[in-house]
Structure 1
Amino acid sequence: MILSRSRVLRALTAGAATLAVGLVPVLPAGADPGGGADGPTATARARVAADVLMSSYEPVKAWFPSSWWNSAVALQTVGDYMQRTGDRRYLWHLDNTFEKDKGVFPAGYLSGDPLLGNFTSRAIDDSEWWALTWIQAYDLTKNRKYLDMAVTIAKYVEDYWDDTCGGGVWWDAERTYKNAVTNGLWIRLTAELHNRIPADRHWLGRAQQGWKWLTGSGLINADGLVNDGLTTSTCKSNNETVWTYNQGLAIGSGLELWRATRDPRLLTTVRRLADAAVRAGGLAPNGILTESCEAPGKSCDDNQKQFKGIFQRYWMDLTDTTHDRRYLAFQARQAASVWDNRDAAGRLGLRWSGGEPNVVDWRTQASALSALIADVPARPPVRSLSATMTPAQPVVMASSASATKVKLTARLQATAPAGQRITADVRASAPAGWTVTPRRASVTLRPKGNAVPAQAEVALEVTIPAGTADGRYPVTVKATSGPLLAFTTQAEILVARSVDFDTGTAAELPWLHDAGGSQSNGVQNRFADGNAYFVYRFPFPSGTTSASTTLTLDNEYVVEASGDGRQWTTVARETRHIHDSSNKAAHTIDLTPHLGPDKAAYVRISDSFPEEGWGGRLYHLSATYAG
């Protein structure tokens, strides 16, 4: 549930992007819109990004940590990815979540609200997100249990439609607010149910009723943009922020209802909503989808980080339905900008147009992944090739007297029809004066279709010359197979002789050895609640004789140190129950007793009272060494 999401930010700043509005040219299905990545490349990019997202999935609680409705949207995005590409590796994760999380849970276990069973809660929109996720799972598997769950949730939501303001579903069980998101979801959900249940009339009637109410409620303003909600006392639009997901849901709900009825008036409204989103003054200044909270001096909360991906999901539905070149070109531009602004580890940020600070977490990853999925052709290519590097951002605290060696692994994934082999030529390059061994290798992969990509690895050793200046250095691998398959990836090696960073920034990431389910809500903020933790690794030079670290942290923390990342010693602990940051302070810890044989040291931060959910929060870290 999104609390006060529309009541604190001003209206979206007018943008400069302009798309002509007029007659819609229709392309044949599968035609190249011009400007998007080729099919194999688009598929490979989506696969790399999906794998990064799923590295944050927590299998015990079966969600993405600390966000309930966001987890539903992320899982639906993974379902979109599997449906679009044919990759089926993550079906288990959908079923794991379904089976583990369909019960009743107290407040705080998986959500701020108590969960009432069957993925319902007092947050009506949260319940609807889960219903759409299970319809996606049904589409993938044809397992009726998922569709039955969606029906159960829809029946729960149905009880929150009443005649206040002429109709509409309430946002919450307390019936305090009627808004665009809850009702856009309601129309999409009921229309999807109708389109999957033979001889249904009930859900179709609900969808049509919802659409009539939404389009007549005043929520769609004179510019064709969807405001957030109604002022309950007057039943008039509150004229508050046009969030991208509200616009996307209005488009998506109209499209699904059109599939149910083939009423051409629905597509006319959908096109009006789409054109409004991308014309000047809409939601895409300079042609790139942008949330109003991305403006200078503002910040997007954890909910808002995911809004643009929801818009992009339903924009993909729009391009699949209309094949409009203008809409396809916009879609391709989003994907290209998202990909061009990823970091070395393949992480996708909040700001699709780039720029700093560009917050990165699993929510931003899921959101931007939707843009990459949309760029994959509706009929995906069977053959594809991708490559990634591990570790993607290694740190070297190089010695001035001798060369330093770093081991990397190039990981290749490929799909092709069973019986076809993909032989990939792998070429590695490093900065001038460095050496990388081998510079060239040949790898043969034997795919068996799209469902589980074939994998192969190439071990690389990089030698960094003595005296290399501090900085970030790329090691590049390009994998090619014939004239049609090619993919380039990089590792970014950080050479550093000092450690000093704020958490929640790009400067932190190379040192972050294991995120461990921790969260970061922005600059100077990384925290570990419950059973979560986070680990930093400091590879001090070989001649190091002493080292220490200074941590600025608060709340209920445990700090442990290790020389190998396996055997841990507690070096600091907050024994009081503190939830208000009143103990925020800098703590200097001697790492000398914890240096490993290779002079590396590890620091782990976790929660001293995991049952409370107010774990250790770190703001700043520095480390020094001598030798």
Structure 2
Amino acid sequence: MRVFNYASQPSWMGLLAAALLGTSTVQAIELDLDDGDSIRKAARNVATNMMSYYTGMNPGDTPGNLPDPYYWWEAGAMFNALIDYWFYTGDDTWNNITMQAMLWQAGENKAFMPANQSKTEGNDDQVFWAFAAMTAAERNFPNPPADQPQWLEMAQAVFNTQAPRWDTSSCGGGLRWQIFTWNNGYNYKNTISTGGFFNLASRLAKYTNNQTYQDWAEKAWDWTAEVGFMTPDYRFYDGGSDLTECKPINQIEWTYNAGVYLLGAANMYNLTEDPKWKDRTEKIIDASGVFFSHDPPDVMYERACETVNTCMVDQRSFKGYFSRWMAQTAQMAPFAYDKVIKRLRASAKAAAKTCTGGINENVCGLKWTEQKWDKTKDFGQQMAALEVIQANLITRVAAPVTKDNGGTSKGNPNAGSKPKKVIPPELDYDITTADKAGAGILTILVMIGIGGSTGWLIWD
């Protein structure tokens, strides 16, 4: 693909150095949620710390990639956070870095399937980059040059690659966790992959007013309920193996699974004004109360791992996405505002109190309920703190735009519909029955491993 010419743009290293220099004397994160300037200042301090982990703008590095041990999808989530950061605060410090990375990672078919990720990319990984593109369209983030892929076009390209992967050969439908047969987890159908597809479809339906996206959102929701990944009381389990028709279900509950369906339901309500979507939105909010502590009240925690100290790299960021999607739900479904904002305020206050670590005493901890730094340091928890703090600016910004209401991003309904098949040379061989069986065994072992660290929850 052609690469945008950044020769005339400011030095990314210079921008980052300037940002870091500006916070070199910061002693802690101070946060007054009734003062917009205080929230913006706190968000900048946390964002600057978060961006100290990113090296993709450096010469010789790959735009859009985070260094080990952080995963490619988490970088996509980071750029979504930065788009929201710009929209909430008006600070464009990282806008050029964001555009550079997203155009680079969009790949040849514009659907975020770059060759450098073909060994490991899953449906959930891909959709987190689509979320960033969709957010850019909804927030009127500065558009790429006309000869480059556009935000809406990228989101549509991801949808067009994922819809054909809807798999009715087992479990009655749904999306697999992994895209390629050679990846561990190919035989696992999980909630975040189907939920991400639901979330994206609902937002495309709202933005474009296209019935096809709305129909797919309905289909994804219905399947999630029918297969049992969503319980009758609107709690979301993790997934199940297609080798056993998605039974038994892995009953681990993560914040981001509730959140991804919450915003999708809120968008469907906003689009259709159908009472069923209002009811569903309200019930997800009520059921998600399991992720908020009683002492201190209304502070979010990752109950599947925080209390037993087993949160892995990706799980340390999950609360950030739930925070992001709760805030956007308050815009798309105003009836949810009171419940949502109470939780966002309490969680943001608690999160800010953990941001006292490191040399500058502004590194944020994982456990917000402790309201002090827990002596941990991680990119994901820094991003989560940014998300929950800046989410409290939601009442100070406009609602998402659509193509008929102020949106400027150009779309292409056919984008990505015929992606080039990418197979790494070392994996370019015929997939045999034995290979598939081996992948299935590895999937089961992965599920056992997850259950071993958090399986106690199914009896909670």
Give the structure 1 partner of residue 178 of structure 2: 172
- For 1:303-340, what per-residue CA distance to the aligned partner results, in whole angstroms no more than 9, with x for missing partners? 10111111111111223332532321111000100111
Q: Which has the higher contact order (CA 8 A, sep 6+)?
A: 2
1:374 aligned partner? 391
1:227 aligns with 2:228: no
1:350: which partner in 2?
366
Name the residue aligned to 1:546: none
Q: How does 1:562-601 map to 2 (within 5 A)?
A: none
1:360/1:203 CA distance change after superposition, 3 Å: same
- SS of the residue corresponding to residue 89 of structure 1 reads coil
Q: Name the aligned partner's letter for residue 100 of structure 2.
A: N
Q: Secondary structure at the match of 1:360?
A: coil
The answer for unaligned runs of 5 or more in structure 1 is 1-34, 105-109, 382-627
Corresponding residue of 1:137: 136
Where do 5+ consecutive residues of structure 2 fail to align? 1-31, 399-460
Sort the Cα spacing of 1:48 and 1:221 in 2 relative to 1 into closer, same or farther, 3 A.
same
| 1:88-127 correspondence runs (5 A) | 88-103=92-107, 114-116=116-118, 122-127=121-126
Say which is worse superposed, 140-149 or 248-257, in terms of deviation: 140-149
Match of 2:52 in 1: 55
Amino acid at match of 1:270: T
Aligned partners of 2:225 and 2:300: how far apart in 1? Answer: 24
Instruction: Please give the residue correspondences for 1:427-442 in structure 2 after superposition, counting only pairs within 5 Å.
Output: none
* Deviation of 1:294 (Å): 4.2
1:39 is aligned to 2:32: no
Partner of 1:77: 81
Paired position in structure 2 for 1:215 = 225
Give the match for residue 259 of structure 2: 248
Provide the C-alpha distance between the structure 2 equivalents of 1:229 and 1:296, rounded to a whole number of angstroms: 22
Using the alignment, how far apart are the partners of 2:45 and 2:227 within structure 1? Answer: 42
Amino acid at match of 2:227: S
Measure, in 2, the Cα distance between the counterparts of 1:306 and 1:312: 10
Mapped pair 1:259 → 2:256:
no
Q: In 1, are the aligned partners of 2:175 and 2:193 still within 8 Å (CA)?
A: yes
Which deviations, in whole Å up to 9, do the C-alpha atoms of 1:331-377 show, x marking residues without a partner?
10001001112114322221112357442222111111110011124
Paired position in structure 1 for 2:12 = none
Change (3 A) 1:297 1:189: closer
Task: State how 1:312-461 maps to structure 2 within 5 Å.
Answer: 312-320=323-331, 321-322=333-334, 324-343=337-356, 344-354=360-370, 357-379=374-396
Residues 1:190 and 1:295: Cα distance change in structure 2 (over 3 Å): closer
Is the 8 Å Cα contact of residues 348 and 368 (structure 1) preserved in structure 2? yes
Partner amino acid, structure 1, of 2:35? D
Please tell me whether the aligned partners of residues 170 and 177 of structure 1 are also in contact (alpha carbons under 8 angstroms). Answer: yes
CA distance in 1, matches of 2:47, 2:126: 24
Cα distance change, pair 123–91 in 1 and its aligned pair in 2 (3 A): same
Distance in 2, Cα, partners of 1:125 & 1:326: 28
Q: Is the 8 A contact 1:121 1:127 kept in 2?
A: no
Question: Is the CA contact 1:179–1:228 (under 8 Å) kept in the aligned structure 2?
Answer: yes
Cα drift, residue 295 of structure 1 = 4.1
CA distance in 2, matches of 1:294, 1:162: 31
1:200 lines up with 2:241 in the alignment: no
1:291 and 1:308 in contact (8 A); partners too: yes
Q: CA shift at 1:93, angstroms?
A: 1.2
With normalisation by structure 2, the TM-score equals 0.67
- Residues 274-289 of structure 1: matches in 2 within 5 Å? 274-278=285-289, 281-286=290-295, 287-289=298-300
Deviation, 1:247, is 1.0
- Report the Cα offset of residue 188 of structure 1: 1.0
- CA spacing shift, 1:135–1:282, aligned 2, 3 Å: closer
Contact 2:83-2:136 at 8 Å conserved across structures: yes
**Which of 50, 61, 64 is 2:66 aligned to?**
64
- Deviation of 1:155 (Å): 1.4
Q: Find the aligned partners of 2:397 and 2:155 in 1 and give their Cα distance.
A: 28
May I ask how many residue pairs the two structures share in their alignment?
A: 335
Cα deviation for residue 41 of structure 1 reads 1.6
Deviation at 1:88, TM superposition (A): 2.1
**1:4-38 alpha-carbon deviations (Å, 9 max, x no partner):** xxxxxxxxxxxxxxxxxxxxxxxxxxxxxxx9442
Partner of 2:163: 158
Quote the Cα distance in structure 1 between the aligned partners of 2:121 and 2:388: 31
Does the 8 A contact of 1:61 with 1:101 survive in 2? no
Structure 1 contact 127–153 (Cα < 8 Å) conserved:
yes
Cα contact 2:225–2:231 (8 A) shared by 1: no
1:555-601 deviations in whole A, cap 9, x for unaligned? Answer: xxxxxxxxxxxxxxxxxxxxxxxxxxxxxxxxxxxxxxxxxxxxxxx
Name the structure with the higher strand share: 1
Q: Is the 8 Å Cα contact of residues 45 and 372 (structure 1) preserved in structure 2?
A: yes
TM-score normalised by length of structure 1? 0.50
What displacement does 1:142 show?
4.4
Q: Which moved more, 1:63-72 or 1:135-144?
A: 135-144
2:443 is aligned to none
Cα gap change, 1:337 to 1:101, in 2 (>3 Å) = same
Structure 1 residues 92 and 348 mapped into 2: Cα distance closer, same or farther (>3 Å)? same
